[in-house]
Amino acid sequence: MSPGASVFLWINGLAGRFAPLDYLMRVIASDYFMIVLMCAIMLVMWFGTSDLKTRERDQKAIICAAIGLGLSNVWVNLINNVYFWPRPFDAGHAVNLIFYRPPDPSFPSNTAAVTFAIATAVFMANRRMGGVFYIMAATMGFSRVFVGVHYPVDILGGAALGSATSFVAFKLFHWSEPLPSCLVWLGRRLYLM
């Protein structure tokens, strides 16, 4: 049995019992909901802070989140090319599948890598909003297990990968002065920052 398979079976066993919960989990686990919502909240943060210093700090974190998101995707694709870990429904488990069958490997979870990359970059600059993003990322991770497309270990692997990538991106970004200041200068000239 794959690592975390018993936890997977317990969480996935909750599916199919209560239709409204199934519907909610299908929306949250969707490829289109949580990431669009996170990006929309980052846009609100970008424009929505009246204090200049706080806004500039948040905007730099959002740039780091974008870098972390892109790099996490690259790492996941590289790992997927080296190793193919089958999805739970392809591994012979009795899965309550209430989602479509993704054809790509199970480990690490791409969505977890991306959402935790965003959450970590925001958390490094803004603890309160970062906490909100972590809750959103964890909820999406849980929903992916609930609907039957990931083992918990896939989510943990993706979360670790995304978080580490964004942590390094955040540190490198701030060590690479004057590049961030040049970006801010350009953004201000274009009335964007």
Residues near other proteins, by CB under 8 A: 26-27, 29-33, 36-37, 39-41, 43-50, 52, 55, 73, 99-103, 110, 187-189, 191-193
Nearest approach in angstroms of CB 97 to other proteins is 11
For other proteins, the closer of residues 4 and 117 by Cβ is: 117
**Which residues of the chain form beta strands (DSSP E)?**
none
Q: What is the largest CA-CA distance in the chain?
A: 58
Nearest approach in angstroms of CB 107 to other proteins is 17
For other proteins, the closer of residues 4 and 145 by Cβ is: 145
For other proteins, the closer of residues 4 and 65 by Cβ is: 65
Nearest approach in angstroms of CB 124 to other proteins is 21
Burial label, 151 (beta-carbon count in 10 A; 0-12, 13-18, 19+): buried
Task: Look up residue 130 and give its amino acid.
Answer: G
Nearest approach in angstroms of CB 100 to other proteins is 5
For other proteins, the closer of residues 41 and 153 by Cβ is: 41
Nearest approach in angstroms of CB 137 to other proteins is 17
Contacts of 124 (CB under 8 A, 6+ apart): 61, 64, 130, 166, 167, 170
Q: Which residue has the tokens 């809750």?
A: 135
Burial label, 69 (beta-carbon count in 10 A; 0-12, 13-18, 19+): buried
Q: What whole-number distance in Å separates Cα of residue 132 and Cα of residue 54? A: 17
Judged by DSSP in three states, 92 sits in coil
For other proteins, the closer of residues 42 and 159 by Cβ is: 42
